[in-house]
Structure 1
Amino acid sequence: MRFAVFVGSAVLALVCLIGLIWSVWFLPFVLIFGGLAALGIYDVLQTSHAILRNYPVIGHMRFLFEGIRPEIRQYLIESDRDEEPFSRDKRSIVYQRAKGVEDKRPFGTRERVYDSGYEWITHSAAPKHIASHDFRIRIGGPDCEKPYDASIYNISAMSFGALSANAILALNSGARKGGFAHDTGEGGISRYHRQGGGDLIYEIGSGYFGCRTAEGRFDVDKFREQAADPQVKLIELKLSQGAKPGHGGVLPASKISPEIAEARGVPMGQDCVSPAAHPEFSTPLELVQFIKTLRDNADGKPVGFKLCIGHRREFMCIVKAMLETDIVPDFIVIDGKEGGTGAAPLEFANHMGMPLVEGLVFAHNTLRGAGLRDRLKLGASGKLVTSFDIAKALALGADWANSARGFMFAVGCIQAQACHTNHCPVGVATQDPLRQRALNVTEKSERVYRFHKNTLKALAEMTGAAGLSHPGDFRPHHLLMRERDRDMVTGEDIYPYLPNGFLLRDESDQFGYLARWNRARAAHFEPFDVE
């Protein structure tokens, strides 16, 4: 059906051409259908637009509607039926930065500045000039032999299988050029990750893909082999995913290609199961011992874990296990429930897990209260697309930010929401060879590189405008927000940094940390008392 207009035009052009034998009146139709057929041939052969390559001729309708979008948008605003501005504006920012075009906007802010919930960063009367935007942080605690100097903005977890081969290759090639890291997702390290040559964060989920036995248990020898790869810079154990926390998954046998089977270390012809819970541990103490096993076999590289905060007491159980064993990971990534996926039940996507802001603040202050915050780094992920998103995450306690959505936009995602159908129109989230060929790796990898560079450049300008020298200097008091009409509060009022070691000193606190801390146990996740 995608090629119906193109093929139909070519056939009709040929029929009309033959019809010229009988009548000259066929000539206009030859020109019309011949022109459409020629346009279709050009669309299929060109490499600049994935939509046109996958939808020859009819794909031009999209660009026609884009051309009249300002008028349509104005009508929607005037009739108070504006489409979601948050998502649309962020997508527009990514496209402009990825393409390296002007991202300035006339007529001021697009946000509703008088609405409650509006946020802004305070600026300084003495702004600073920041010469370099290559902001980095060192990940690796005292037990790490090979710390990694990471960019403060990296590609979040997206597995090969969920994304196409061309999308993975474009993302990783862009990461290599820009000197930032690419999280593999739990689907293992594919040949396309290796071909790109960029730095990798090897994510290990409950299926242990790439380091599993035939029965689906953890294989330490296979893990040691993966970790020794020079491309791998960090090892990330995934406890839960923001978009569907506490939910496993099944990749049906019909969707497993030889390349997916190779990356995951699973057989062809069988369903590939990711359990909801890890089979290798079930208590906080077993979890930190498993982290030690990973660290002992990780070739000296930093080891950490990722989770979406659920029961707050359970995160405190893990922190207490760290204190009891003195096994502290090199990093923790807090994933917000607003993170995206192509395979989450609607109820999970909407109502399971803690949003990033609340989860990040809670984890940051719990680690401060336990006296461990200085021993590890804290990452954040969950719709962090713009420089303001990054600045806000850093102000609330993160050391760096990850983004999946932003980099998907950079490789051409148009949010068609067909990720689960294998019919992605731009070749990003599909295993269909014909569809993914539309994604030009050379061009899209350059866009990934430019998006990262231009976003950090914008962050440098925002940091300087606030009178700071590094984005890591942002603190809650640099954030202001309107709580209600004419009432504004600082981030420090709502999300303060709590005192170091306050949980160990058994101090009372107004945010309810201590009562929950006293109910947490390192030996098990089950509640000691009612939460």
Structure 2
Amino acid sequence: MARQYTFVILLIAFAVIGLVGLLWPPVWWSLLVIAPLLALGIRDAMQTRHTVLRNFPIIGHFRYLIEHIRPEIQQYLVESNLDAYPVEREYRSLIYQRAKGDLETRPFGTHRDVYRPGYEWAAHCTVPAPQLDEEPRIDIGGKDCKQPYSSSLLNISAMSFGSLSSNAILALNGGARAGGFAHNTGEGGVSRYHLEHGGDLIWQIGSGYFGCRTPEGRFNPERFEEVAAGESIRMIEVKLSQGAKPGAGGILPAPKVNREIAEAREVAVGEACISPPAHSAFSTPVELMEFIGKLRELSGGKPVGMKFCMGRISDFLAICRAMLDTGIRPDFITVDGGEGGTGAAPLEFSNSLGMPKRDALVVVHDILTGTNLRDDIRIICSGKILSAFHMIRSFALGADGCNSARAMMFALGCIQSLRCNSNTCPTGVTTQDPALRRGLVVEEKIPRVQRYHQRTIEALIKMLSAMGLNHPDEVMPHHIYRRSGDLKVASFAELYEFLEPGQLLDEGNGHGLFSEAWKSARSDRWT
């Protein structure tokens, strides 16, 4: 570890100077440099607020020096086209400020090129509406749900224990408990770290059925019923695919599977955790609906939904056909964008598979509306949700709520070192290395997670007021504009075509591609 090298070098230098000083006293003056550095290193290693300094004493200060002069450096990188994530880095700074409770305002107006194609903005109102006194929430749970859940508009998206460290899980769940929002477990099972602080949990069930599996890796209903009965488990989410690598399944390498991870996932220590590309508990749209109905029954009537990255539209049409044929509806659908994902994924999958979030939202909202299913199902949006505007933009396209993983990682102190898949995350967020994990002090990070959520909701309420709206439900496609050229601007209402309620069910009132695909959709097979 670089931390150890720094201390060893300083200690050796200190000892050498002490010995040489016995023979030649003037060398003692060198201690005026070495002693303060050694004291600084000890102080860095013992403090709890800054993870980078705690894990990398002394040399970590160079990172904060660069951050201090970041505006000039970032502008150079953007102009030189060397920075792959200029907008995301801008929001990362905002998230850091919110999480720390720092001043958020910025001088000299927007830092964006507002005439560049792709720039988006919300339309404000000349007479703002009164601001809401408290956070609006959404009720999730249909007619067959006995334990509906009152959800925040912004929750923690799916990240598993194993992908994240135990300290990261503890801090996220503690923040969720303090802020009154939910924490998605990811498909790695419900660990003891998810339960320690008692924050609300969305238990995600993936194709590996971790935490509710038989020794052969198939779904275990008895084990599921036992875990789902837990008070912290508020909703169940069946993961069909994810934005980072849709259709690829997943694997947690054997070296990362320690005793605690193996216990949570119910696998052997040192054994690679493999999530197959497809589920074994169902193989048709009807069977998927029956599985959702079974989970709702086994959980005592808790909300059950599904998550996917939109692929073939015909597959989702088949799922909606199965909803109508069986009468079983998911309580919510989490739509993940192909641009989402916080961990490692194959480049071709993350770049070239899966429908982008905005398009997928419109498709899901449209098809549910066109089949008269929309009123029964909540739509949750996931994928690079970093700010209040990102939430409002999602509401305009049909979402009821949002999940965020990336922003919550930033709130924990993630610096995007891009070492998520190497077990060497310098901030202790995505590593199982005890020495690095130690740097993430849970008690310091819980308030940061809670504060980021609180301030983002406050910003959402202020933006709604400026737009002349009283509730997120009132956000419509015509409220958001997008520039497509120097002199070309259109609202989302003009860019996208939206179905009328029941339009797909009306054979005499077809709707292009959806109409033809709907006619051929079958609930007994994927089309």
Q: Could you state the TM-score of these two structures normalised by the residue count of structure 1?
A: 0.97
Cα contact 1:238–1:307 (8 A) shared by 2: yes
Cα contact 2:337–2:354 (8 A) shared by 1: yes
Q: Deviations over 1:440-492 (max 9, x none)?
A: 11111100000000000000000000100012210101011112221111111
Determine the C-alpha separation between the residues in 2 that align with 1:183 and 1:69: 33
Q: Name the structure 2 match of 1:291.
A: 292
Residues 79, 146 of structure 1: alpha-carbon distance in 2 compared, 3 angstrom cutoff: closer
Written as runs of structure 1 = structure 2, the 5 A alignment for 1:113-512 is 113-509=114-510, 511-512=512-513
What amino acid does structure 1 have at the position aligned with 2:103?
Answer: E
Residues 123, 425 of structure 1: alpha-carbon distance in 2 compared, 3 angstrom cutoff: same
Q: Deviations over 1:355-382 (max 9, x none)?
A: 1101111011000010000011111100
State the aligned residue count: 526
What amino acid does structure 2 have at the position aligned with 1:178?
Answer: G
Residues 184, 78 of structure 1: alpha-carbon distance in 2 compared, 3 angstrom cutoff: closer
Residues 199, 115 of structure 1: alpha-carbon distance in 2 compared, 3 angstrom cutoff: same
Unaligned runs of 5+ in 2: none
Q: Name the structure 2 match of 1:18.
A: 19
What amino acid does structure 2 have at the position aligned with 1:464?
Answer: S
Q: Deviations over 1:247-298 (max 9, x none)?
A: 1122233221110011111122432221110011111111111111111101
Determine the C-alpha separation between the residues in 2 that align with 1:414 and 1:292: 41
What amino acid does structure 1 have at the position aligned with 2:434?
Answer: P
What's the secondary structure of 1:453's corresponding residue?
helix
Cα contact 2:342–2:405 (8 A) shared by 1: no
What amino acid does structure 1 have at the position aligned with 2:474?
Answer: D
Q: Deviations over 1:363-412 (max 9, x none)?
A: 11000010000011111100011000000111110110000000000001
Residues 348, 225 of structure 1: alpha-carbon distance in 2 compared, 3 angstrom cutoff: same
Determine the C-alpha separation between the residues in 2 that align with 1:513 and 1:80: 40
Cα contact 1:476–1:496 (8 A) shared by 2: no
Cα contact 1:479–1:490 (8 A) shared by 2: yes
What amino acid does structure 2 have at the position aligned with 1:22?
Answer: L
Point out 4+ residue stretches in structure 1 off by more than 3 angstroms: 73-84, 507-511
Determine the C-alpha separation between the residues in 2 that align with 1:409 and 1:56: 21
What's the secondary structure of 2:121's corresponding residue?
strand
- Of 397-406 and 513-522, more deviation after overlay is shown by 513-522
What amino acid does structure 2 have at the position aligned with 1:184?
Answer: T
Determine the C-alpha separation between the residues in 2 that align with 1:162 and 1:260: 10
Determine the C-alpha separation between the residues in 2 that align with 1:96 and 1:509: 50
Q: Name the structure 2 match of 1:52.
A: 53
Cα contact 1:174–1:449 (8 A) shared by 2: yes
Once superposed, what is the RMSD of the aligned Cα atoms? 1.4
Cα contact 1:7–1:37 (8 A) shared by 2: no
What's the secondary structure of 1:503's corresponding residue?
helix
Q: Deviations over 1:45-95 (max 9, x none)?
A: 111111011111111111122222233344456667666321111101110
- Of 175-184 and 247-256, more deviation after overlay is shown by 247-256
Determine the C-alpha separation between the residues in 2 that align with 1:349 and 1:387: 25
Determine the C-alpha separation between the residues in 2 that align with 1:246 and 1:57: 44
What amino acid does structure 2 have at the position aligned with 1:2?
Answer: A
What's the secondary structure of 1:421's corresponding residue?
coil
Determine the C-alpha separation between the residues in 2 that align with 1:352 and 1:42: 47
Q: Name the structure 1 match of 2:28.
A: 27
Determine the C-alpha separation between the residues in 1 that align with 2:203 and 2:12: 50
Determine the C-alpha separation between the residues in 1 that align with 2:19 and 2:143: 80
Cα contact 2:250–2:277 (8 A) shared by 1: yes
Shift of 1:112: 1.1
Determine the C-alpha separation between the residues in 2 that align with 1:331 and 1:74: 41
Cα contact 1:163–1:430 (8 A) shared by 2: yes
Q: Could you state the TM-score of these two structures normalised by the residue count of structure 2?
A: 0.97
What amino acid does structure 2 have at the position aligned with 1:477?
Answer: H
Cα contact 2:289–2:323 (8 A) shared by 1: yes
Shift of 1:5: 2.1
Determine the C-alpha separation between the residues in 2 that align with 1:227 and 1:455: 30
Determine the C-alpha separation between the residues in 2 that align with 1:470 and 1:154: 18
Q: Does 1:95 align with 2:96?
A: yes
Q: Percent identity?
A: 51
Determine the C-alpha separation between the residues in 2 that align with 1:203 and 1:85: 32
Unaligned runs of 5+ in 1: none
